[in-house]
Amino acid sequence: MATIVGAATALSASKSFDSRKLHLPSRRSLSVSERKGSFLVVRSDGSVVHKAHRAQILITNAVATKADSSAASTASKPGHELLLFEALREGLEEEMDRDPTVCVMGEDVGHYGGSYKVTKGLATKYGDLRVLDTPIAENSFTGMGIGAAMTGLRPIVEGMNMGFLLLAFNQISNNCGMLHYTSGGQFKIPIVIRGPGGVGRQLGAEHSQRLESYFQSIPGIQMVACSTPYNAKGLMKAAIRSENPVILFEHVLLYNLKERIPDEEYVCSLEEAEMVRPGEHVTILTYSRMRYHVMQAAKTLVNKGYDPEVIDIRSLKPFDLHTIGNSVKKTHRVLIVEECMRTGGIGASLTAAITENFNDYLDAPIICLSSQDVPTPYAGTLEEWTVVQPAQIVTAVEQLCQ
Amino acid sequence: MALCLRTSSRSILYYLKSKICLLSSSSSSLTHQHHQKPTFTAPTAQNLRDPYANFSTKVNLLSTRRFQSTKVEEQWDSLNHAHHNQVLDFPGGKVAFTPEMRFISESPVERVHCYRVLDDNGQLITSSKFKQVSEEIAVKIYSDMVTLQTMDSVFYEAQRQGRISFYATTIGEEAINIASAAALTTDDLVFPQYREPGVLLWRGFSLQEFANQCFGNKDDNGKGRQMPIHYGSNKHNYFTVAATIATQVPHAVGAAYSLKMDRKKACAITYFGDGGTSEGDFHAALNFAAVMEVPVIFFCRNNGWAISTPTSDQFRSDGIVVKGPAYGVRSIRVDGNDTLAIYTAVHAAREIAISENRPILIEALTYRVGHHSTSDDSTKYRPVDEIEWWRSARDPVARFRKWIESNGWWCSEDELELRTSVRKQMLHAIQVAEKADKPPIAELFTDVYNVPPSNLCEQEKFLRETMKRHPRDHMPDVPV
């Protein structure tokens, strides 16, 4: 297996939106047994609503709203600033402190601290047994994680790069997703499988895989993708506390994003999408790194007089059709921007789901912008054009809104 | 070349012997000296011709062992004065070098010897050492072996009658199943392949529960989700059988890791066949277990066949036992049709695994008397008389019966009574299981996740609407 250089490449400063977001502390309440009756939601227009919990869905609400001068600021504490990989580590550390059964296993996660430093310092703090360096056999250490999970531990399996987890596909599909079902509910598998994926900066085809499209049909697993330090920490904590196997997709280029996150504890909901920018004209659905390309395009679009609504879907399996549906009903136009390949990607499934459920609300066919069906080339100029660029997003919105 | 082979086989033998000696030093009742003592004289022509095989391999294997006594190394040192003072330093430790180029042979002249206690007539081999069993345990072991045999034959017949869709027998491997289970405690976690229902039987899974799973009715604790023989019971620490080969081997390592973290006085055990050892998961799991020093027993049922593939087409090593040392795992080969040998070996393995936090590999040599499953006709690829010989002359059940009878613990009246009673119970269990309702449609969508998400609720709703709209298209007695 080719090893990749550990240093994470960073997005340029102009793409960080930390100063523009207002973050609200969200209610922590994860397992079904811990459900509370209702919780507060501060909407983007500043109104405060009491919301009864939805049955069977994890309740906590993490809504990132546009910085709005009139918006009620319930974030009384200033919070602290950190990078996305540090946010992941913070979430991981808090959960390891809270629950002694949480452990990490993967290649070079121990004293090396992980290839992207997400587990840095944890081995010294918790010992070699709880932060386990494994030999190079992805299928087998994923299998080991499954066995440990069935026996009462809560392992987090780190793939050094998501692409390497293709080797673990057998264990993930045939055992991780399946054993809770085939055992009649007798054995549960509260495992988290995470790792960096997506197209980086000239990492070559094998290190630029997008696995969410391959894993999305596996019954029994949940998939989430983080995109900001805030939701990275929140989703990490939620995934660890979940009783189901969760695959957490991180992106190689987002690890050095900086943001100010709350000091107090919070957990994000695994099944909810995030409203990034409310709008009226068109719904743009995106996740992970493409969120930033979308927001950059949004700036241009606003200057041109459009009002796009941007939603970071976050939950790739299952889709948060509630939030998405409400948005479609409002704007009647949908643009999906994703990094997956065109064929059989998340966008393809999302298009099908929206068409099936909200066809009557659409004024125009759904446009889906994805990467081409090519292995990612090494040459920078070529690589740049395999992913969706902001200019293409602007054009697509203009086309939709004609 | 032949001399080369002999010296390297001796080195393997000596290495394994030293392992077994350490084994015996920890438990005095366990010395067994069936293989000949290797003779080591001053450097002879043989040794000089093959110093590498004698010495370097040994030192390599030993260099990172904290528990290895220095005594062995001294013995080796005295053989090879000419070379042992020249040592190189590489990652992984010091290694002696030699100016002679010698390849380690790919196969020994003599295979690793096999631990055996009872002869073919069920009599104790003179000077054999084994773990004593009480009359009560011995009779329970035997009864469970008979129950397993009867259960197999009744279920097989039921499949042939079309009453269940599939079955796989354990004929010929009853001793492996029951004796290994008897040597463990119920706290030990079992990760089976699919030919180990006897372990579950020993632990108290009832005949009715076996039948329920095979018929996939509503009383099956797997809720009718798996094919027959894919048993699972968290109550009995028997992890649900998955059809994938060898995927359970790393699971067992993970479970052992969990036991080590919790400092529990228990081990994990996983079973697999000779075919399963070709899977990548097997190799990585052994490697992991050795590196992580976890209490797991790897039990290989080398029954000679992987469906139609004989072991000669599966691997070219001397069976599975030699693969253990390749990963740094202590290993032993036992006669898989010898109840007492298996009982003793598993008992010792468990003690070592738990007290020393190390993995153990046990290779049990046996023969798969039955077909691979009801979808197989093994007479197509092996001679009928071979099968018959193993079924009758080498039957592990009959062999153990002779031993308990010679102790006065069993007689033919007991035998008749047991067999008739079990057969009757089995037939009754099948009747009850057959008549029971199948799982309701509601169980189609549960347990995919801890709670059904909205898309599954939607799909269930759609299904129910379809069933209501087209009542004639589905069987009316399918519960909803």
Each residue's pLDDT tens digit, B327-347: 999 999 999 999 999 999 999
* CB neighbour list of residue A25: distance below 8 Å, 6 or more residues apart: A74, A75, A262, A264, A266
Q: Which residues of A touch B279 (CB under 8 A)?
A: none
Range B44-65 burial, b when 16+ CB lie within 10 A, else e: eeebeebbbbbbbbbbeebeee
Q: Looking up tokens 């944890």, which residue turns up?
A: A122
Which residues of A are identified as catalytic? 138, 207
Query: Are the Cβ atoms of A183 and B240 closer than 8 angstroms?
Result: yes
Which residues 246-265 in chain B show a CB within 8 A of chain A? 247-255, 257-262
Per-chain mean pLDDT for chain B: 85
Q: A175 falls in which pLDDT band (50, 70, 90)?
A: very high
Contact A92, A118 (CB under 8 A): yes
pLDDT, position B404: 97
Distance (Å) from the alpha carbon of B38 to chain A's nearest alpha carbon: 36
User: How many other C-beta atoms lie within 10 A of the C-beta of residue A365?
Assistant: 11
User: Residue A3: inside a domain, yes or no?
Assistant: no
Contact B189, B239 (CB under 8 A): yes
- Among B233, B247, B287, B297, the strongest candidate for a mutation testing the A interface, having the largest count of A CBs within 10 A, is B247
Looking at the fold, whether A167 and A306 belong to one and the same domain comes out as no
Of B247, B253, B280, the CB nearest to A174: B247
Q: Which residues of B touch A179 (CB under 8 A)?
A: 240, 242
pLDDT, position B479: 77
Of B240, B258, B448, the CB nearest to A152: B258
Of A103, A147, A219, the CB nearest to B250: A147
Distance (Å) from the alpha carbon of B448 to chain A's nearest alpha carbon: 5
User: Which H/E stretch holds residue A248?
Assistant: strand A246-251
pLDDT, position B84: 52
Q: Which residues of A touch B453 (CB under 8 A)?
A: 56-57, 271, 318
pLDDT, position B473: 76
The arithmetic mean of pLDDT across residues A275-302, rounded, is: 96
Looking at the fold, whether A283 and A253 belong to one and the same domain comes out as no
pLDDT at B213 over 80: yes
pLDDT at B254 over 60: yes
Three-class SS state of A218: coil
- Among B188, B191, B449, B456, the strongest candidate for a mutation testing the A interface, having the largest count of A CBs within 10 A, is B449
pTM of the model: 0.77
Three-class SS state of B176: helix
Query: Are the Cβ atoms of B242 and A182 closer than 8 angstroms?
Result: yes
**What interhelical angle do B207-215 and B412-435 show, nearest 10?**
40
Phi, psi of A293 (to 5 degrees): -65, -40
Chain-centre distance for alpha carbon A346: 13
Cβ of residue A129 closer than 8 Å to a chain B Cβ: yes
Query: Are the Cβ atoms of B254 and A151 closer than 8 angstroms?
Result: yes
Query: Are the Cβ atoms of B287 and A137 closer than 8 angstroms?
Result: yes
Decide which of A261, A290, A308 is a domain's last residue. A261
A327-331, B10-14, B211-215, B436-440: segment of lowest average pLDDT: B10-14
Angle at A209 between CA A203 and CA A213, to 5 degrees: 160
Q: Which residue has the higher pLDDT, B82 or B126?
A: B126
Q: Could you read off the pLDDT of B409-434 as tens digits, one per residue?
A: 999 999 999 999 999 999 999 999 99
Both tokens of residue A22?
Answer: 């207002």
Looking at the fold, whether A253 and A389 belong to one and the same domain comes out as no
Distance (Å) from the alpha carbon of B429 to chain A's nearest alpha carbon: 21
Q: Could you read off the pLDDT of B66-118 as tens digits, one per residue?
A: 333 333 344 444 444 545 567 889 999 999 998 999 999 998 889 999 999 99
CA neighbor of A149 nearest in space, from B239, B203, B360, B226: B239
Query: Are the Cβ atoms of B191 and A139 closer than 8 angstroms?
Result: no
User: Residue A9: inside a domain, yes or no?
Assistant: no
Per-chain mean pLDDT for chain A: 84
* CB neighbour list of residue B317: distance below 8 Å, 6 or more residues apart: B107, B323
Round to whole Å and give the CA distance between B361 and B296.
Answer: 9
pLDDT at A59 over 70: no
User: Residue A388: inside a domain, yes or no?
Assistant: yes
Looking at the fold, whether A315 and A179 belong to one and the same domain comes out as no
Q: What is the CATH number of the domain that holds A336?
A: 3.40.50.920
Round to whole Å and give the CA distance between A123 and A111.
Answer: 6
Please give the DSSP secondary-structure letter assigned to residue B273: E
Query: Are the Cβ atoms of A144 and B244 closer than 8 angstroms?
Result: no
Looking at the fold, whether A226 and A332 belong to one and the same domain comes out as no
Q: Which residues of A touch B254 (CB under 8 A)?
A: 143-151, 153, 155
Query: Are the Cβ atoms of A318 and B455 closer than 8 angstroms?
Result: yes
Of B257, B284, B450, the CB nearest to A243: B450
User: Residue A153: inside a domain, yes or no?
Assistant: yes
- Among B213, B269, B447, the strongest candidate for a mutation testing the A interface, having the largest count of A CBs within 10 A, is B447
Distance (Å) from the alpha carbon of A135 to chain B's nearest alpha carbon: 7
Distance (Å) from the alpha carbon of B195 to chain A's nearest alpha carbon: 17
pLDDT at B64 over 70: no
pLDDT at B30 over 70: no
Distance (Å) from the alpha carbon of B391 to chain A's nearest alpha carbon: 33
- How do beta strands A222-225 and A246-251 pair? parallel
Pick left, alpha or beta for residue B264 (phi over 0 → left; psi -120 to 50 → alpha; otherwise beta). beta
Query: Are the Cβ atoms of B453 and A181 closer than 8 angstroms?
Result: no
Looking at the fold, whether A162 and A235 belong to one and the same domain comes out as yes
Q: Which residue of A has its CA nearest to B260?
A: A129
Which residues of B are identified as catalytic? 368, 372, 381
Q: Which residue of B has its CA nearest to A126?
A: B261
Distance (Å) from the alpha carbon of A177 to chain B's nearest alpha carbon: 8
Which residues 275-334 in chain A show a CB within 8 A of chain B? 318-319, 321
Looking at the fold, whether A216 and A288 belong to one and the same domain comes out as no
Phi, psi of B368 (to 5 degrees): -85, 95
Decide which of A261, A294, A328 is a domain's last residue. A261
Looking at the fold, whether A183 and A279 belong to one and the same domain comes out as no
pLDDT at B253 over 70: yes
Looking at the fold, whether A137 and A285 belong to one and the same domain comes out as no
Query: Are the Cβ atoms of B251 and A139 closer than 8 angstroms?
Result: no
Query: Are the Cβ atoms of A151 and B255 closer than 8 angstroms?
Result: yes
pLDDT, position B26: 42
Q: What is the CATH number of the domain that holds A240?
A: 3.40.50.970
pLDDT, position B85: 61
Q: Which residue has the higher pLDDT, B54 or A85?
A: A85
Cβ of residue B220 closer than 8 Å to a chain A Cβ: yes
Domains held by chain A: number:
2
Query: Are the Cβ atoms of B281 and A140 closer than 8 angstroms?
Result: yes
Looking at the fold, whether A219 and A335 belong to one and the same domain comes out as no
Decide which of A237, A261, A285 is a domain's last residue. A261
User: Residue A55: inside a domain, yes or no?
Assistant: yes
pLDDT, position A16: 40
Q: Looking up tokens 């010679």, which residue turns up?
A: B406
pLDDT at B20 over 50: no
Looking at the fold, whether A333 and A217 belong to one and the same domain comes out as no
The arithmetic mean of pLDDT across residues A315-325, rounded, is: 95
Of A130, A144, A318, the CB nearest to B288: A144
Angle at B399 between CA B394 and CA B403, to 5 degrees: 160
User: Residue A2: inside a domain, yes or no?
Assistant: no
* Full domain range(s) for residue A219: 19-261
Contact B196, B238 (CB under 8 A): no
Q: Which residue of A has its CA nearest to B263?
A: A129
Q: Which residue has the higher pLDDT, A375 or B298?
A: B298
Query: Are the Cβ atoms of B254 and A185 closer than 8 angstroms?
Result: no
Angle at B39 between CA B34 and CA B41, to 5 degrees: 170
Looking at the fold, whether A40 and A185 belong to one and the same domain comes out as yes
pLDDT, position B15: 47
Interface size A-B, in CB pairs within 8 Å, comes to: 164
- Among B296, B450, B457, B461, the strongest candidate for a mutation testing the A interface, having the largest count of A CBs within 10 A, is B450
Range A316-352 burial, b when 16+ CB lie within 10 A, else e: bbbbbbebbbbbbeebbbbbbbbbbbbeebbbbbbbe
User: Residue A14: inside a domain, yes or no?
Assistant: no
- Among A32, A34, A183, the strongest candidate for a mutation testing the B interface, having the largest count of B CBs within 10 A, is A183
Query: Are the Cβ atoms of B242 and A219 closer than 8 angstroms?
Result: no
**What interhelical angle do B135-160 and B396-406 show, nearest 10?**
150
pLDDT, position B478: 72
Q: Which residue has the higher pLDDT, A143 or A16?
A: A143
